Amino acid sequence: MTLVDAETGRVIEKVGADGSQVHFLPAAGVALVINDRAVHAIDLTTNKKLDDLASGTDYRFDSPQISADGKYAVISAGTGVLLIDGSSGKATGHVVPFKRVVDLEIVW
């Protein structure tokens, strides 16, 4: 992942987290970088990669559902569900494994 100054276009830093999606948890000061095998967390103050919130070749992570107040994030995967605390940016538990996640409905 490459962090760029939006006004100048200058590269600020390159962080060792690959992914096709970036989502922000402003209260935690964390960016979630998601690819199909991992959910990476980037500290937006230090621009450093934190410990991965989850990883595994069997998961196939999808886009997160983030509550309107930013307090929670839920990321489904092909075989599990990950819950993230929006104020700390940390997983509230491990990926809950299922044989297959078919549908996930969240009522905030």
Q: Where are the domains of the chain?
A: 2-97
pLDDT band, residue 11 (cuts 50/70/90):
very high
pLDDT tens digits, 53-90 = 988 877 888 888 898 888 889 988 877 888 999 999 99
With beta carbons less than 8 A apart as the criterion, state whether 39 and 21 touch: no
Which helix (DSSP H) or strand (DSSP E) does residue 2 occupy? strand 2-4
Nearest residue to 19 via CA among 34, 32, 41: 34
Residues 6+ apart with CB under 8 A from 86: 25, 27, 28, 66, 67, 69, 70, 71, 72, 73
Task: Report the SS3 class of residue 66.
Answer: strand
pTM exceeds 0.85: no
